[in-house]
Amino acid sequence: MKIAVYGQYYKENTDEIIEKMMVVFGQYNPEVVFEYNFYNVLCERNILKESYPTFTDHEELNNGFNLFISIGGDGTMLRAATFVRNKNIPIVGINAGRLGFLATVQQENIENLLPLIFENKYKISPRSLLTLHYPGGTDQLEDLDFALNEITVSRRDTTSMITVEVKLNGDHLTSYWADGLILSTPTGSTGYSLSCGGPLLMPEVNSLVITPIAPHNLNARPLVIPDDTEIELRVSSREEQHLVSLDSRIIRLDVETVITVKKANFKINLVEFAEEKFLDTLRKKLLWGEDKRN
């Protein structure tokens, strides 16, 4: 088995995570390749006991890789998706951050869950992505025109609201007066969209969510739409530009630019263990069922 490892260094727990992971690797002897920058950090801190090959970008990840391990929080998982892209390499997230809806393997469970990879005792959870198109889109986006969580339009350099005109499959929906608008996948429904009042979606649902950010009209509610819908946006503002974010990547666009958002033609495959199902994660992270009276 050939495994790519990428991560962010957290001084509180990365040393122990790497130590536990390498113990498991020692039992099954996979071929391990580290992301170059992460590998250098680990070497500087003398965490690794021997040398390993490295990779620097997505082009070096070929079909010979069987697994991609992300060490960090959900933000690290989103960056991991930019390495894997359409290569169908399963991603497993070891949580070194706080919440961890995507990075579901907790530090204390590494020795129990990672061996299940080598024993083929896991399932794949395919996750839909959104892709963005606009005139001249290659200038800022290059080939990173997709998002696993959400695509968001928002105001820039102003305290005034923006107006976001929305069309669905060419038909006019409405014009939102708001601080911005979130277009979320089911994966992203536990993130920014949720904090703005959007609904939770199961990962298997073939839907998207349109969630306004602080809308001027209180009757502007989140809307769930089929994921084969083509969404057209056009932003008006007092400023000359507005912001567009694809997960954590931000670009600036001129107002009145027509933006087209639709489901990408590939998916990201996340590893899911029976011990860490999505419903289990919801209960744990959102404290469902917790009652201080008990």
CB 121 within 8 A of CB 284: no
Report residue 234: phi and psi, to 5°: -145, 120
> Which residues pair with residue 171 across a beta bridge?
168
Active site residue 15: no
Query: Which one of the listed residues 15, 57, 74, 247 is annotated catalytic?
Result: 74
* Tokens 């690290």, located at residue: 76
Is the Cα torsion angle 276, 75, 249, 45 positive or negative in sign? negative
Helices 110-118, 14-28: axis angle to 10 degrees equals 40
* Tokens 């600036």, located at residue: 252
- Please give the structure tokens belonging to residue 233: 């946006």
Mapping DSSP to helix (H, G, I), strand (E, B) and coil, where does residue 142 land? coil
- Give catalytic residue positions: 74
